Structure 1
Amino acid sequence: MIAGLGLWTGIIGNLEFLQEKIPSDFVKAMILSIGLLAGIIAGPTAGRIIDQSRKKTVLLVAGLGRLVSVVFMLLAISTGSVWWMVAFIISIQLSATFYFPALQSAIPLVVKDEDLLTMNGMHMNVATISRIAGTALAGVMLVYWSLASLYWVSMIAYVFLLLFTMWLKIDEGEGSSSHRKQQGEKGGFMEVFPVLKAYPAVGMTLIMTMIPLLFLGSFNLIVINISEIQDSSSIKGLIYTFEGIAFMVGSFAVKYFSRKWKTTAILFFFASMVAVAEFMLYFAHNIILTLSAFAVLGFALGCFFPTAMVVFQKQMPKAYHGRFFSFRNMLERIMFQVVLLSAGAFLDILGLQTMVIIFGFISLSMTLLFFIQMRRRNIVLEQVQVNPAAEII
């Protein structure tokens, strides 16, 4: 919750700063993509360090990195320099490259396997509540206070996060440090690939998570564009609120769906719903249809991501969790990089409406292609199969 409040007040500040300083969508995308590139480069090292080290230590060091990054953004505002903002984006992304894989690796250490779906849903709900509260707080502060005040709030939140992390207790097993170190040195980051080959369900789910990234990678640019189309700055906060509330509803509803549907059905159905949300944004000039599109997106993601995380956490061996989640984050950053630059170019050349139609067709095509591949290779995502001969869906 605390991390999310700091993160989202900072993100709204970033968008405001970019909107003031940079007129071109493509140039905005270029600046945002620099941080993603830094995360991609650091990903392999992060995976090794997380598997070799105690998760709490990694979380603490990443937390200190966040505090340093906020100082860079305060300098950017005081000097009006975009280069200080670039330093902020790089440092905050490097911190995230270590923080989030360590956090994802820690969850299975403190939660029983049968509770993972519930825990992932709760974890994402807390993140969503903080996103709604953070964006709403940022919107109010921008009306009454200065842009720098957003980053002072982020700084305070990150200090509290560091204090709470110090009190965190994760039982990683006494005497396991040397074993983790040997595991990390033995195969390093590249050892993830043969493990993925040995667990095809994990590999296929990993590829499936790339589908929503077409929307998520261009999310902030789309929000800025809709704000300009509707000539409304308040629409930004409404979009984040509708999407966030729908996400929370979805993460609760997925527990019901998981009792009725198989994992494969949940993933493929809600991947298709992401494409529906993209098509709905063709009517971006209409506030009701715009907010409905983001509500559909939020609900779909609230069902999709907790389900995918359970597949990763249950089926990938725990000894590889640090490297796997770092690899996943690195893959997402590469995808974000491609989507961000493509979206910036599309928005400058074609406009929002044409872009979302293209993205919608790509999402639907990818969903159909992956479904055919799973059928052809007979990949089953459920960990325990009562009847191996049964159909996937």
Structure 2
Amino acid sequence: MWKNKNVILIFIGEFIVGVGLWLGIIGNLEFMQKHVPSDFVKSLILFSGLFASVIVSPIAGKWIDTYMKKHILLYAGIGRICSVIFMLFALKYESIFLMVCFMVLIQVAASFYFPTLQAIIPLVVANEKQLMTVNGIHMNISALSRIFGTAFGGALLMITSLQMLYVGSMIAYILLFLLTFFIDIKEEKRETTNYVKEKQRFTDIFPIIKSLPIVYMAVILTIVPQLFIGGFNLMVINISELQHDSSIKGWLYTIEGIGFLFGAFFIKYAAREQTYVKWMYALTCFIAFAQLSLHFAHIKWVSLVSFGLFGICVGCFFPMIATIFQTTVPKLYHGRFFSFKNMFDRVTFQTVLLASGLLLDTVGLEYMVVLFGMLSLLLIMYTLFRKKGNVLKGEGA
């Protein structure tokens, strides 16, 4: 695997794009703190980009399955670089409108880039048995880039201007664009085939998902960690207030991050293809338990254990889920499937984020986590009953 040039380039690219992404996120928060007093308006600005990415996801899916994937990555890279130009002008003119343009363009570029990357990984990995390892390392690198990007961004803000944060982000995107040229993907050239273009429909993916029980179960069960991730930052703030300790925020992020790294390392040795379903249910049950245990978040060690347990579980869960999707969904549909998955995750995240804000204001953290934990258990039970129903139908036939 380490002799595979394409895999190494993807790992390097993931770190670079992660650093650029988090530099931009820190810059966005700083800019809005200075120029946008209303929290509601801030949420609308953030929502604008995510909404745009959801709108274009069906188009992205069709294009990824129709055109050369390397070309899609390059065009997405150009989109990212251009988006930062909008933000540099937004800083110069203190323009909220230009910032919205930046948010929309960078999220649209991401809606093409990340599904394409997921579709490319199975094409560049020589042996399918290495997919779990590659996905685990890929997600570990993503976590490390988040840690480094946030630390680097915070340091830059202290010693230089906000503009330099976005210049650093643009440099990262330019490096990623140049790096993409060296990726060598073996795929059939399809740009000139009119028949293929006409036959590609985004909705074709839904019968495929329904016909593959493990994929359908995996898509539904991804909602369970999203119920935790969607309100993650809000929960950290509330736990800090409950414990009257601002330092707990850093500890919670650190414990969760270390747990994620450990989980992604552990799962590649522990799970086998025959045991994926059992692992899915075990991990989602532990995530539900971590949610429920936060009912006692006023106790410091309980909150730390809960976040650590969640980090380990999602570190195991996401590389395994990515491997299931890459190996089970036919490669012909990878672009549309991963675009659908990207859209599904973003809608779920936004819904959970809004619900978390509402519930924290109305019932408080202790009862919100119980509601989310119970919803997680209901989703697990739903997929279990559906699985048993499918087995009975098969026996009856």
TM-score range, shorter chain: 0.7 to 0.9
Determine what percentage of the aligned residue pairs are the same residue: 47
Corresponding residue to 1:354 among 367, 380, 391 = 367
Q: Does structure 2 retain, via aligned residues, the 8 Å contact 1:13–1:151? A: yes
Equivalent residue pairs, number: 379
- The aligned counterpart of 2:69 is 55
CA distance in 1, matches of 2:208, 2:65: 15
Q: State the shift of 1:44 in Å.
A: 0.7
* 1:337 alignment partner in structure 2: 350
Pair 1:145 & 2:175 matched:
no
CA distance in 1, matches of 2:123, 2:283: 28
TM-score (norm 1): 0.86
CA distance in 2, matches of 1:41, 1:188: 15
Q: How does 1:1-393 map to 2 (within 5 A)?
A: 1-19=15-33, 27-111=41-125, 112-173=127-188, 175-178=189-192, 182-226=195-239, 238-259=251-272, 262-284=275-297, 288-378=301-391
Worse-superposed segment, 54-63 or 222-231: 222-231
TM-score, structure 2 as length reference: 0.85
Paired residue type of 1:362: L
Change (3 A) 1:303 1:171: same
8 Å CA contact 1:40–1:333 kept in 2: the answer is: yes
Contact 2:214/2:277, CA 8 A, preserved across alignment: no
Query: Closer, same or farther in 2 for the Cα pair 1:37/1:354, shift >3 Å?
Result: same
Structure 1 residues 321, 6: CA separation in 2 closer, same or farther (over 3 Å shift)?
A: same
Q: Structure 1 residues 27-36 or 306-315, which shifts more?
A: 27-36
Q: Do the aligned partners of residues 227 and 99 (structure 1) sit closer, same or farther apart at CA in structure 2, a change above 3 Å counting?
A: farther
CA deviation map 1:204-224 (0-9, x unaligned) = 212221221122223344445
- For structure 1, which segment, 9-18 or 240-249, has the greater mean C-alpha deviation from structure 2 after superposition? 9-18
Does the CA contact (< 8 Å) of 2:65 and 2:200 recur in 1? Answer: no
SS at the partner of 1:212?
A: helix
Gaps (5+ residues) in structure 1?
380-387
CA contact (8 A) 2:62 2:200 kept: no
What is the rounded CA distance, in whole Å, between the counterparts of 2:391 and 2:186 in structure 1? Answer: 37
One-letter amino acid of the counterpart of residue 261, structure 2:
M
Question: One-letter code of the match for 1:162?
Answer: F
- Name the SS for the 1:105 alignment partner: helix
Q: d(CA) in 1 for partners of 2:34 and 2:363?
A: 23
- Higher mean alpha-carbon deviation, 339-348 vs 151-160, is at 339-348
Aligned-residue offset at 1:372:
2.3
CA–CA distance in 2 between the matches of 1:37 and 1:279? 31
The residue type equivalent to 1:170 in the other structure is I
> Which segments of 5 or more consecutive residues in structure 2 lack a partner in the other structure?
1-14
Q: Distance in 2 between matches of 1:306 and 1:162?
A: 25
